Structure 1
C-alpha cells in the first residue's frame, strides 16, 4: 500500500500470564506487576515500539490465577519508561467517559505523549454480570461504545462538552490539561464485526486485527480502507504469536510442543468459552483453528512460525498489505522476545 510508514513492533504485556499454554515448564504463569515491569522495561531497551496492556478485572481463563489491572499498571509504566508507546485496552461498560478521558489525559501527561487507548467490545459475560453490570447484546454494546468513544474523543481533545444522548448526559465538561503534546492520545480499535469496522472508520486512528492469514487480513483492510474515515486514513495493526528458529523444522517442532501443552488446557478453554458472547468474531475464528494454533487473539494463525528468513518474509508481506504495527506474543515470553529482537529486528529494519 502506498504511503506506508516503516513497520513497528510491540509486545503484549503478560497481564494474565502465559499466552499459549498454562502448563509450560519453561514459562512461569506469572501476571505479577514485578514481572510486567521488568518485561516492559526490557522490551523498551531491546527496541520494541509499543506495549499493549489488555484489560480484565479477573483472569478470563482461570479466576484462581492472578490478573494485572490495565490502567493503574499503564500509569506506572508511563512513569518508568522513556520511549515505548503504552496502549491500555478499555471496555466502555466499565468506566464513565468523563472519568476515563481524565485518566487517559493524566497518563498522556505522565508519558509525555506516548499513551493510547484500545477500545474493545467486551466478550466475557461473567466479568460484567458477576459485578451486577449490564452486558447487552453484541450490537447494542457497539452502539453504547459509539456514543462512549464520541464523548471520550472530544473530552481528550480538551473540548467543552455538552451532550444528551441515549446513554450519557454531560453538562458543560472540559478537561485540563489537554493538547500539551498532540491533539489527543491515539485511539486503537479492536474487533472485526460489521459494527466494529464502521466504528473504526468513524473514530479510530488504528484498526487492530486478530492474527489470521495474509489473504484474510488484506480483505479486511480493503473493506475498511474504502470507507470514509473521519480522522483521516486509518493505520492497521495485527496481533500475532511468533515462533522463530534457525530452521523451519526447529520452529515447527516448537509449535508442536506448545500445541501439546495447550491441549492440557482444554477444560480451562471450555470454561472460558461458556462465558463468552457467542457473537464474538474473535472466538468463532479461534474455535475453528484451536487444533492448529496457539496463542490468544488469533495467535499463530498469522503464520509467523518458521525460520528467521521465513518469518521475516511473512512479516514483510503483511507490511506490504498494510500492517504497520505488529503486536507480538511469545512463549517463553522473555527468552523469545529477546530472540526476535536479536535475530529478526535487524533484518526488518
Structure 2
C-alpha cells in the first residue's frame, strides 16, 4: 500500500475515433487545437501525465493519426506542468535518434517529456512500412536493448554497447537530459516477456484494465522479480472512466457505447490480438480473456469498472491503489468536459479517501 498519492494520466486523442471502437457520438476530436484545449483542461483538473498514441496505419476507427513525438512536443509547448509520454516503436526509431530527439525536447520543456516504448503487436503495421517483424519474445528483447541504450546514452559519456540489435562505440551525447538520472521510461504488455522486461529496465509498467484481484497478481509478480533484480517499477492501469451524477446514467452511457460498437472493426481487432497472443510463449497476450464488449475499448478499460457516481469511482480507485497501482491511465468519451468533471467531482473525493486512510494507518501505528 503506497503512502504516495495516486497519479492520473489521460490518453491523448492524437488519432481519430476517440478511445472506443464505436460509432456512438463523441465530442472528442483528434485535431491539434482540440488537444491543446484538452491538455490545458487536464492540467488544471489535476492530471499529471498525458500519453500520446503511436499508429502508422489506419484501423479500428483510427483512420487518421498524428505522429506521437512531434505531437507530444506541440502539447508541451502549450502547457506548464503536464508531462507528456511520447510513444516510440523500436524498429522505425533507432535509440541514437530517440535519445537525442527526446533530450532536446527535455531541455525545451524543462524536463516534461517521457517515453513509452511500444514493442509492437500488429504485424500488418510493420509489413506496411517495410519493417522486419521479430518473433514475440525477440521484440521484447529488442525493446530491452533499446531501453538499455537510451539509459546509457542519457547517463554516461563514452558509452559503449554491443547488443544483438544495437551497437554504440565511445558515444557521448551532449547536452544530456534535464531529468535525472534520465527521462522516465514507460512500457506496456501483459506477456511473460513484457513483465520480465519491466522488472529489469523500465520505470513504469502499463497493464490493460482488469479487476483489482487480477491486477494484484500481475503487480506482485512484477515487483517480486524486480526486487530480485535490485530494481523498482511503478504500475499504471488502463481505465475508461464514465463518471455521472447517477449510476444509472453512467451504465446507460456504457450500454450506448457497446450498442453502437463498430462490429467489423472490433472483430478485426479481436482477430489480430488473438494472432498476437498466440505468438507469445505462453500462448496468451494482452487480450487473452477479453470479450467482444471489452474490446470495444481497445485496452480493456471497461474491465477496470470506473463507471458510476463520483463516490463509487473514487472508492474503486482507492481499491486499485491498495493493491499497488500508482497511476490510472484514463480514457473518456467526451474528453474535455469529462476531464473537467473528473477534476471537479471525483479527484477531490480520491484525495479525501487517501487522507482518511492515511490517518487511520497513523492512528494504528501510534
Equivalent residue number for residue 333 of structure 2: 331
Correspondences of 1:106-185 after superposition (within 5 Å): 106-185=104-183
- Residues 124 and 277, structure 1, Cα contact 8 Å, conserved in 2: no
- Residues 87 and 115, structure 1, Cα contact 8 Å, conserved in 2: yes
Helix, strand or coil for the counterpart of 1:87?
strand
CA 1:298–1:159: 2 relative to 1, 3 Å: farther
Equivalent residue number for residue 279 of structure 1: 276
Equivalent residue number for residue 265 of structure 2: 268
- Residues 204 and 231, structure 1, Cα contact 8 Å, conserved in 2: no
Helix, strand or coil for the counterpart of 1:323?
coil
2:48 matches 1:49: yes
Equivalent residue number for residue 237 of structure 2: 238
2:292 matches 1:290: yes
Equivalent residue number for residue 323 of structure 2: 321
CA 1:98–1:15: 2 relative to 1, 3 Å: same
- Residues 113 and 182, structure 1, Cα contact 8 Å, conserved in 2: no
1:301 corresponds to which of 300, 303, 310: 303
Distance 1:4 1:235 in 2: 13
- Offset of residue 12 of structure 1: 0.4
- Residues 55 and 65, structure 2, Cα contact 8 Å, conserved in 1: yes
- Offset of residue 62 of structure 1: 4.4
Helix, strand or coil for the counterpart of 1:254?
helix
- Offset of residue 176 of structure 1: 1.2
Helix, strand or coil for the counterpart of 1:162?
strand
- Residues 310 and 345, structure 2, Cα contact 8 Å, conserved in 1: yes
Equivalent residue number for residue 15 of structure 2: 16
2:265 matches 1:259: no
1:219 corresponds to which of 217, 222, 236: 217
Distance 2:219 2:143 in 1: 22
Q: CA RMSD in A?
A: 1.9
Distance 1:38 1:309 in 2: 27
- Offset of residue 46 of structure 1: 2.0
Distance 2:295 2:264 in 1: 17
Distance 1:179 1:107 in 2: 9
Equivalent residue number for residue 74 of structure 2: 76
Provide structure 1 residue ranges, at least 5 long, that are not aligned to the other structure: none
Provide structure 2 residue ranges, at least 5 long, that are not aligned to the other structure: 278-284, 352-366
Helix, strand or coil for the counterpart of 2:236?
strand
Write the deviation string for residues 35-72 of structure 1: whole angstroms up to 9, x where unpaired. Answer: 22221122112221110011112334246x21111001
- Residues 242 and 253, structure 2, Cα contact 8 Å, conserved in 1: yes
- Offset of residue 240 of structure 1: 0.4
- Residues 240 and 302, structure 1, Cα contact 8 Å, conserved in 2: yes
- Offset of residue 158 of structure 1: 4.1
Distance 1:346 1:173 in 2: 48
Helix, strand or coil for the counterpart of 2:260?
helix
- Residues 160 and 171, structure 2, Cα contact 8 Å, conserved in 1: yes
2:191 corresponds to which of 190, 193, 198: 193
- Residues 22 and 296, structure 2, Cα contact 8 Å, conserved in 1: no
Distance 1:295 1:4 in 2: 31
Distance 1:335 1:248 in 2: 18
- Residues 142 and 195, structure 1, Cα contact 8 Å, conserved in 2: yes
CA 1:293–1:150: 2 relative to 1, 3 Å: closer
- Residues 198 and 205, structure 2, Cα contact 8 Å, conserved in 1: yes
Distance 2:102 2:114 in 1: 8
Write the deviation string for residues 156-185 of structure 1: whole angstroms up to 9, x where unpaired. Answer: 224321222222222221111115342211
- Offset of residue 228 of structure 1: 3.3
**TM-score, length basis structure 1:** 0.92
